[in-house]
Amino acid sequence: MSVTTYEEQPKVERRSDRLAERLQRIWETKPGLYGWISTVDHKQIGIRYIVTAFAFLVVGGVEALIMRVQLAQPETRLVTPEVYDQLFTMHGITMIFLYGLPILSGFSNYLFPLVLGSRDMAFPRLNAFSYWVYLASGLFLYSSFLTGSAPNNGWFNYPPYSLPEFNPGPNMDFYALGMILLGISTTAGAANFVITVARTRAVGMSLNRIPILVWGTTTISVGNLLAVPAVSLAFFLLWLDRQFGTHFYDASGGGRPLLWQHLFWMFAHPWVYVIVLPAMGMVSDGLPIFCRRPLVGYTLVVLATITTMVLGFGVWVHHMFATGLPYMLLSVFSGSSLIITVPSAVAVFAWVATILAGTPVITTAFLFFAAFVVMFVVGGVSGVMTASMPADLQLHDTYFVVAHLHYVLIGINVFGVLGALYMWFPKMSGRMLDEKLGRWSFWLIFIGFNVAFLPMHWTGLLGMPRRVYTYPIEAGWGTVNLITTIGTFVLAVGFLMLFVNVFVSLQRGRIAGPNPWDGPTLEWATSSPPPPYNFAVLPVVASRHPLWENRLREGTGESSLDRGIVLDNGKEIIATTAIDAEPDLILKMPDDDPSPFLVTVFMTLGFAGLLLHWWWLAAAGGLLTPVGLIAWLWPSAELAQTAEGVHG
Amino acid sequence: MDLRRAVAAVALLDGASAADAVERASHPMYTLQGEGMRGAVMAKLIWGFSAVSISVVVIIGMLVLIGSWRSLRTGVASFEGTLPPLSRGERDAMPWIYAGLIVTTITLAVLAVWTISSMVSIGRPPKEPPLTIEITGNQWWWRVRYEPQGDQSRIFVTANEIHIPVGEPVRVRLISNDVIHSFWVPALTGKTDLIPGRINETWIEADKPGVYRGQCAEYCGQQHAHMALSVFADPPDRFQAWWDGQLRPAGGRSYLQSLR
């Protein structure tokens, strides 16, 4: 490498076919198995996240349907209590951990560099790594079914029932180790999102021009970096208690069962916001496109997003109102749990105002987004009810809470995700989803969901506790449960129709073109699907809506999409400053690399060794993992950061 | 099981309104009708919060429908490749957010005050309870120990059935022998957990005689679904008679027999 490379000054040129060809050769993933394992293309990784998360959604859904058949009538004996316990536990783990965040990470992974006007995530190999580890932890958790000993203590897994005295099988070890593994993936992904936003935005994309989806994912990524350590520690201590006889949670040895509850909910309550804020962000970006106007109250919505996450760290004790903690403490947490509604209300009124002040175009995506707003409110107000401590003493651990959390997770996550799928599928595949099938699937999902879960609030008020594998006739819960079961099957048919739509449209859907919905942000400025390098010349933006700015007359100056910085000296992107997004450095990006995959394999083998007590395997995994990391991180001259970029 | 009929019979016997008795009989775990002070305070909160919640959902739902319905009528109902032009609208839409913010904050403040004052009113029993019941959670049954003030000779133990005198607060001490359970009798009180290594306390009071069903509310293992209990609230004289009967050696008439 010559010295001049480090002083490279990027050219500024117009987009040309020759440039595109050269960039294609530089950025495209090699064909074959090697390319499949070693690709670091954020678009491929994003789609993998989405496909994998939907696969887990289907598996978790099937688990739910089995449970709904069991509960449709009193005293049904379709499955044994042991099987039922594993089903409700794995259903929760799957939907909350293996679907809830990964689906959003998938969209964010796919969209981040595109909406930010860049070519890849800041750390492409770390990105591949976080996907592989997510997949590995999902398979690790599900391998428990092969031995008939899946986790069986509910997703929040309270000791002492999770301790070996009451739960001697490997069930809880699968959960403990699997969650530590997943925590590694979440942490790696979160760090990557934060740095990507801070350093690789398009020139000119100052903080007040970032799409809300990006704000949502960045906010929850910072949240994750603070929250995940609590749960990894909690599960690690649990594993020590189980394997080496420590007494962190064991009262008979002087431990405290409540320690678990604090550590777990300190993580798991913020997690609720983690799996909804990016979806709220997608709605905040998507809804305006179909309302044909910018979002009302952009700044307030961004502030509300951040405020929600911050307050989300101060409400965890509302899961513990019945544990006999001091009254004064409970009243504080009851109050904070009510206050957290305020920023959510800001978002809701911003969406409502956008619909009212806009000219909505009723597409399938719009239907999902509009339904999202209403479902959000249902999940929100039932959350307000459980925030009131004396009311919660009745509602806690009943089907009322089950209804509430499904309005949150399906209403605020799934509805947003499905709207986003209809909206961005054309970008990902180059083809439109069928609108007619789309409407059918929307109405089936909407009606099925509400038939299933609206009456479930009543089930809870009639006093049905959660996590019971059956119930007596005289309890009077038969009718409502039957209605819920019928609703869930309608919901399932709606999903089936969605998947049919995806498969059919992939083959025969109408060709989309770069910007089928007339969207305002940078991902719509490139072809559908985008080339491996995303943008031939790196765009410079001068407003929040680069593709709308001429028609809305906003911003200072004009965004430049066809003429911009050319970086074609190997894989390169531009680094910009954190606040104002002024050009700063040229970043050299790594080529495809199999080491993230290999490190994941080594690490997973190590975890399997810990699970099986094959200490030699654990030791081998423990030794090979750092070896793989050294190979991955071995300094390479081609990756040295170079010269300052153009200023001005 | 004829628990249902027994509940209805006892309730009617003592002059409760027929409608309440029927509701309690067909849904013994109904949370919206308190039969004692704690249960009543909680039920009132849930009713009030529900009313607010339903209003909010209806209002927002209507606004979303109106916003979408308007465009159905202006002929841009479906997406056919042509889109209406962009516009910021004629009027500033921010007042929607400000108004929403103000209304939400005021409503929440009122609800918070109501919540705290309810907490205060159920925090302590209205007078020092003469009777303490110690309940020990076990997989999957309840051990119940009666401890009157003073007289040690009248202590005794039962399982899964709790008798209390009507109109008097009773202190409930909750401990666990194995895993976490939760004591819950919806008509009388919400949940308090039984946690190993901890002693939790709550209190209950029944306003009128009856049989109130309860159930463990914290997942505690395979037969969690069947860890039920019943609270029999008796007029004080009948309660005393029952207690005396419990202290007699076996062979006497059971409580249910004595009811008939």
- B81, pLDDT greater than 70: no
Mean pLDDT score, A592-610: 96
Q: What's the pLDDT score for residue B148?
A: 84
Q: What is the pLDDT of residues A454-468, one digit of tens each?
A: 999 999 999 999 999
Residues within 8 A of A (CB atoms), B 137-156 only: 139
CA distance A554 to A264: 46
Residue with tokens 């050319």: A566
- B3, pLDDT greater than 60: no
Closest CB from B74, B77, B88 relative to A293 = B88
- A257, pLDDT greater than 80: yes
Q: What's the pLDDT score for residue B90?
A: 63
Residues 6+ apart with CB under 8 A from A288: A294, A295, A354, A358, A520
Cα-Cα-Cα-Cα dihedral of A126, A130, A135, A140, to 10°?
A: 110
- A246, pLDDT greater than 50: yes
- A3, pLDDT greater than 80: no
Residues 6+ apart with CB under 8 A from A190: A220, A221, A222, A224, A225, A228
Mean pLDDT score, B41-52: 96
Mean pLDDT score, B146-158: 86
CA distance B27 to B187: 11
User: Among B5, B44, B45, B70, which would you mutate to test the A interface (most chain A Cβ atoms within 10 Å of its Cβ)?
Assistant: B45
Q: Is B192 on the interface with A (CB under 8 A)?
A: yes
Q: What's the pLDDT score for residue A558?
A: 87
Phi, psi of A441 (to 5 degrees): -65, -35
Q: How confident is the model at residue A431 (pLDDT cuts 50, 70, 90)?
A: very high
Lowest mean pLDDT among A415-419, A533-537, A584-588: A584-588
| CB spacing of A390 vs B196 below 8 angstroms | no
User: Among B30, B33, B38, B53, which would you mutate to test the A interface (most chain A Cβ atoms within 10 Å of its Cβ)?
Assistant: B53
- B12, pLDDT greater than 90: no
CA distance B4 to A472: 11
Residue B84: asked if its preceding bond is cis (omega within 30°), the reply is no
Q: What's the pLDDT score for residue B2?
A: 46
Stronger pLDDT, A482 or B91, i.e. the higher one: A482
Q: What's the pLDDT score for residue B253?
A: 56
Q: What's the pLDDT score for residue A639?
A: 78
CA A316 to chain centre: 20
- Give B112's contacts in chain A (Cβ within 8 Å): 334-335, 338-339
- B76, pLDDT greater than 70: no
Instruction: Report the residue count for chain A.
Output: 648
How do B156-159 and B141-148 pair as beta strands? Answer: antiparallel
Going by the DSSP 8-state scheme, the letter that residue A75 receives in this structure is T
CB A522 within 8 A of CB A541: yes
- Give B114's contacts in chain A (Cβ within 8 Å): 388
Phi, psi of A388 (to 5 degrees): -80, 110
CB A445 within 8 A of CB A375: no
Q: Is B46 on the interface with A (CB under 8 A)?
A: yes
Q: Which string of b and e fits A540-558 if b means at least 16 CB within 10 Å?
A: bbbbbbbbbbeebeebeee
Q: What's the pLDDT score for residue B13?
A: 46
CB B31 within 8 A of CB A461: yes
Stronger pLDDT, A60 or B153, i.e. the higher one: A60
Closest CA to A384 of B34, B41, B115, B98: B115
Percent of chain B scoring above 70 in pLDDT = 82
CA distance A458 to A123: 48
- A645, pLDDT greater than 50: no
Q: What is the mean pLDDT of chain A?
A: 94
| Residue A292: closest C-alpha in chain B | B86
Q: What is the pLDDT of residues A171-193, one digit of tens each?
A: 999 999 999 999 999 999 999 99
Stronger pLDDT, A381 or A359, i.e. the higher one: A381
Phi-psi category of residue B128: left, alpha or beta, with phi > 0 → left and psi -120 to 50 → alpha = beta
Question: If residue A423 lies in a helix (H) or strand (E), which one and from where to where?
Answer: helix A415-429
Q: How confident is the model at residue B257 (pLDDT cuts 50, 70, 90)?
A: low
| Residue A295: closest C-alpha in chain B | B88
| CB spacing of A322 vs B192 below 8 angstroms | yes
Closest CB from A160, A296, A391 relative to B46 = A391
CA distance B77 to A554: 28
- Give B230's contacts in chain A (Cβ within 8 Å): none
Tokens matching residue B97: 């957010």
* CA-based torsion, A529, A191, A414, A281: positive or negative: negative
Distances in Å between the Cα of A456 and the Cα atoms of A51, A399, A484, B216 are: 30, 6, 7, 19
Q: Which pTM value belongs to this model?
A: 0.94
Q: What is the pLDDT of residues A550-562, one digit of tens each?
A: 888 776 678 999 9
Q: How confident is the model at residue A2 (pLDDT cuts 50, 70, 90)?
A: very low
Q: How confident is the model at residue A303 (pLDDT cuts 50, 70, 90)?
A: very high
Lowest mean pLDDT among A44-53, A312-321, A514-523, B240-249: B240-249
What does A516-558 look like in DSSP terms, one character per residue?
Answer: TT---SGGGGS-SSPPTTS-SSEEE--SS-TTTHHHHT-SSS-
- A647, pLDDT greater than 70: no
Percent of chain A scoring above 90 in pLDDT = 90
Percent of chain B scoring above 90 in pLDDT = 68
| Residue B22: closest C-alpha in chain A | A476
Q: What is the pLDDT of residues A46-100, one digit of tens each?
A: 999 999 999 999 999 999 999 999 999 999 999 999 999 999 999 999 999 999 9
Phi-psi category of residue A17: left, alpha or beta, with phi > 0 → left and psi -120 to 50 → alpha = alpha
Distances in Å between the Cα of B107 and the Cα atoms of A303, A342, A346, A348, B111 are: 21, 10, 14, 16, 6
Closest CA to A126 of A648, A634, A632: A632
Q: What's the pLDDT score for residue A487?
A: 98
Closest CA to A117 of A639, A593, A584, A530: A530
Number of alpha carbons in the 13 Å side-chain half-sphere of residue A634: 7
Question: If residue A584 lies in a helix (H) or strand (E), which one and from where to where?
Answer: strand A583-588
- SS3 category, A630: helix
CA distance B224 to B180: 11
CA distance B85 to B74: 13
| Residue A545: closest C-alpha in chain B | B86
